[in-house]
Amino acid sequence: WVSDDSAVVASADGSPSHWSGFLVDITGRKELEEQLHRQAVHDPLTGLPLRYGIESDFTLCQKDARRTRNRLYIVMIDADHFKRINDRYGHPVGDVALRHLADILRATLRASEPLYRFGGEEFLLLMQCKSDYAAEQTARRIVTTVRTTPVQVPDATSLTLTVTLGLAEVGEEEELTSAVKRADAALYAG
């Protein structure tokens, strides 16, 4: 209980203690802050990080690629014809399909490759490879794995998803927005 001039707070043994002035209980505050931060930066549906805050990961990946002499690629991944799933089966099945897709992508990629829910049915991947050929092989593996791993939905129906990818090799000093724009253009061309 708190009033303008005093507070009653339970002490560690549970007995009430009277304080003069205002007292703020900070027990659990750190845990609450961490939970709120996680909710703000992670998609509750897929568990993936959201696109907000990607800039710092992008900068770190760019530096790491220079250090290891790898090429950095931004990969835009879009679930094909996803609106049809929502329209035909409803949004709960669409949610199952998105979780399934996120799980497939996580399982297919290296742990060191940051993956984000970019929005709607789009995902963004920061991928490092030694060559364009290696990047193309990874992209083909993603497309094949998604296509050959059906989604099991609640009524025992299975749905086959397909994805289209747009890859853009990131220039050594290129900004994130520029690379995303090029990857997005490649996605739409696909």
Query: 31, 33, 121, 172: which one is catalytic?
Result: 121
Tell me, yes or no, if 121 is annotated catalytic: yes
Tokens 């049915």 belong to: 121
**End-to-end CA separation in angstroms for the chain:** 62
Distance CA 14, CA 12 (A): 5
Tokens 């399934």 belong to: 100
Partners of residue 82 on adjacent β-strands: none
Pair of tokens at residue 50: 């959201």
At position 98, the amino acid (one-letter code) is L
Closest CA to 125 of 57, 175, 66: 57
Catalytic residues: 121
